[in-house]
Amino acid sequence: MSVLQNFIVFEGGDGSGTSTQLELLKRRFGKEDALSPPVIFTFEPTDGAVGRLLRAALRGEPRLHGETMTRLFSADRAEHLYGEGGIVEAAERGSLVICDRYTLSSRVYQGLECGDGLPAALNGGFPAPELLLFFDIDPRLALLRLETRTQKDVYESLDFQLRVRERYLGLLDSCRAEGSRVVVIDASAPIDAVAEAVWQNISLLPVMPRQRGSCIASSMKKAIN
């Protein structure tokens, strides 16, 4: 597995705050004033055709077998990486690409559902991110945060999330071995403190100018057709 420079991934259990922090980071980039590279914020499952099917399945309709889910997550990811205007193309031309969830989510969640073999085989050839931020939080607290949501995903039970956290923590060293820089962020800290920790790590990236600066935040095309 090769490392894709300029590619950053946020990972964490459900309710760990990755999506909120991605939004805050987007705003932070919008406020900084010197020049910095174009920044693309994106997420998995994507909002393309396969990603939409996955989101429906995550809500339980249609009900899909764990193996099918594993294959769909990797198909969604392949298009996200290599499709037109995809992650690889953008990062290689010098954009900073920041993605909410990636291969480690498959190794953790689908690994729990259908064993390590298939997620490892289907995701092993994808590039590793330059930087992986793991948002660590006690699943009890994380699930409390999600309580106000009306729609629950199939993975949002305490039992499952306790195992999710354990697996994440157990797999971080293998991400390091693949060449990613891995940082564990205390996601139970106040939201602003978490945002600051995220910014500290992002602003240290080689692609960032020495003087912090603004960037053009653009949305990534994720349509899969």
User: Would you count residue 67 as binding ligand TYD (CB under 6 A)?
Assistant: no
How many C-beta neighbours within 10 Å does residue 8 have? 26
CB nearer to ligand TYD: give 90 or 143. Answer: 143
Residues in 14-43 at the binding interface with ligand TYD, rule: CB under 6 A? 14, 19
Whether the Cβ atoms of residue 72 and residue 78 lie closer than 8 Å to each other: no
User: Would you count residue 44 as binding ligand TYD (CB under 6 A)?
Assistant: yes
Residues in 83-142 at the binding interface with ligand TYD, rule: CB under 6 A? 100-101, 105-106, 109-110
User: Would you count residue 73 as binding ligand TYD (CB under 6 A)?
Assistant: yes
CB nearer to ligand TYD: give 36 or 222. Answer: 222
User: Would you count residue 47 as binding ligand TYD (CB under 6 A)?
Assistant: no
Question: Could you write out the DSSP letters of every residue in 90-121?
Answer: HHHTT-EEEEES-HHHIIIIIHHHH-SHHHHH
Q: Residue 1 CB, nearest distance to ligand TYD (Å)?
A: 16
Which residue in the shown chain puts its C-beta closest to ligand TYD?
Answer: 109
Q: What is the C-alpha separation between 126 and 74, in angstroms, rounded?
A: 9
Question: Could you write out the DSSP letters of every residue in 29-75?
Answer: HHH--EE---EEEEESS-SSHHHHHHHHHHTTSS---HHHHHHHHHH
Residues of this chain that interact with ligand TYD (CB under 6 A) are 14, 19, 44-45, 58, 73, 100-101, 105-106, 109-110, 153, 155
